[in-house]
Amino acid sequence: MNNKDVLKGEKDTGLKKNLAAVERFKLLIAIVDRGRGTKVVNLFRSHHLHFDFACLGSGTASSRILSYFGLDETAKELVWTLSPCRRVRAVFQEAKTQLKLQKPGGGILFSVPLSAISGQIPPVLIKPEYSKEDESVDENLNGSQKKGRAYELILTIANRGFTDRIMEAARNAGAKGGTTISARRVGYEDGENPFGFTLQPEKEIIAILIPKEDKLPVMRAINREAGLKTECRGILFSVPVDDILGLQEEDI
């Protein structure tokens, strides 16, 4: 009896502290053509998703020949934001029409489940005045559950200049396209030199969205052609993806 009360009390204060704390969060990532990032940000903001960050990337070529002629690389923009789960579906609904993601090559929006976040985020993103909108939207959308295939996100971090080789391997195993982001390795120890700076090898992150069933063949192919044992020094892993929008089965 006593025990139960204590438990109940704990739970109550926990709930009182902030109802939002129990709400799960997702990471939303939009990949759109350079210059359309502000549209995505506006959409996110209209849903009270304030923590948005952008970085630049570029779409990979869809064939080797086109890549040689410099014709198939498009400048992309990645916009990241955190969103409470129940708002995700409303954002996706609106993204469909506002961002024209249905059109081939119009862009991609997907969400990644999170396992934990800073406790300082929910008070900003979840407020009583927002929750009304959430609920009304929720009712409308309760019926339309996830449809289509399940996707995963493969991330490969490799030395600069090997994107073509990695994409070639991935395409041969069934991938359609990807996005690259420039990066730099930090804390590389043995580069100290007389000028007192450290040489930092430039890296590239290649993100490929792939149907779950194609994940293993593609990852195996990349590992074979561009894994750690090769000069690409590719490190690869995959991340689960929940909702996805804008990925045409035939064309990206």
Partner 1 sequence: MRKNLKAKIMESLSSVLPISAIVLLLSFTLVPQMPIGTLMMFMLGSILLILGMGFFSLGADMSMMPMGDGIGNEVARISGKSKWRIIPICFLIGAFITIAEPDLQVLARQVPAVPDAVIILTVAAGVGAFLVISVLRTLLSKISLNRLLVGFYVLVFLLSAFVPKEFLAVAFDAGGVTTGPITVPFIMALGIGVAAMQRNGKKAEEDSFGMVALCSIGPILAVLIMGMCLSNTEISYTPFTVTTVFFSQEVGLQFLNGFPMYIKEVALGLLPVIAFFGIFQITSLRLKKESLIRIVIGLLYTYIGLVLFLTGVNVGFMPAGNYLGSAIAEQGYNWILIPIGMLVGYFIVAAEPAVHVLNKQVEEITGGAIPQKAMQLSLSIGVSFSVGIAMLRVLTGMSILWFLIPGYAVAIGLSWKVPKIFTAVAFDSGGVASGPMTATFLLPFAMGACSALGGDVLTDAFGIVAMVAMTPLVTIQCLGLFYQRKLRRTKEVTDAEASLMAPEDDIIDFDSLETANLGNIPNSGEESDE
How many Å apart are CA 92 and CA 220, to the nearest integer?
Answer: 32
74 binds partner 1 (CB under 8 A): yes
Of 39, 48, 72, 233, the one binding partner 1 by CB under 8 A: 72
Among 6, 71, 228, 239, binds partner 1 (CB under 8 A): 71
242 belongs to the binding site for partner 1 (CB under 8 A) = yes
Residue 202: C-alpha distances to residues 193, 199, 224 (Å): 17, 9, 22
Cα(129)–Cα(126) distance, integer angstroms: 8
Residue 208 CA to residue 239 CA, distance in Å, equals 10
- Contact residue for partner 1 among 6, 42, 119, 148 (CB under 8 A): 119
Site membership for partner 1, residue 8 (CB under 8 A): no
Listed residue (210, 245, 188, 234) closest to 28, CA to CA: 245
By the rule CB under 8 A, 120 interacts with partner 1: yes
Burial class (CB in 10 A: 0-12, 13-18, 19+), 237: exposed
The two structure tokens encoding residue 33: 């053509």
Do residues 196 and 220 make contact, with C-beta atoms less than 8 angstroms apart?
Answer: no
| Binders of partner 1 in range 11-70 (CB under 8 A) | 11, 15, 17-18, 21-25, 33, 37, 50-51, 54-56, 62, 64, 66-70
If one asks whether residue 97 binds partner 1 (CB under 8 A), the answer comes out as no
86 binds partner 1 (CB under 8 A): yes
| Candidate list 45, 146, 149, 229; residue touching partner 1; CB under 8 A | 146
Q: What angle do CA 121, 122, 125 make, to 5 degrees?
A: 90
Instruction: Rule CB under 8 A: choose which of 27, 117, 157, 205 binds partner 1.
Output: 117
Site string for partner 1, 189-228 (x = CB under 8 A): --x-xxxxxxxx-x--------------------------
End-to-end C-alpha distance for the chain, whole angstroms: 60
Size of the site for partner 1 (CB under 8 A): 63
d(CA 45, CA 42): 5
Binding segment for partner 1 (CB under 8 A), chosen from 40-48, 93-101, 156-164, 169-177, is 156-164
Identified binder of partner 1 from the candidate list 115, 129, 132, 143, rule CB under 8 A: 115
Q: How would you class 251 by CB atoms within 10 Å of its CB: exposed for 0-12, middle for 13-18, buried for 19 or more? A: exposed
Instruction: Return residues touching partner 1 (CB under 8 A).
Output: 11, 15, 17-18, 21-25, 33, 37, 50-51, 54-56, 62, 64, 66-75, 77, 85-86, 105, 113-120, 122-124, 146, 161-162, 164-165, 182, 184, 186, 191, 193-200, 202, 240, 242
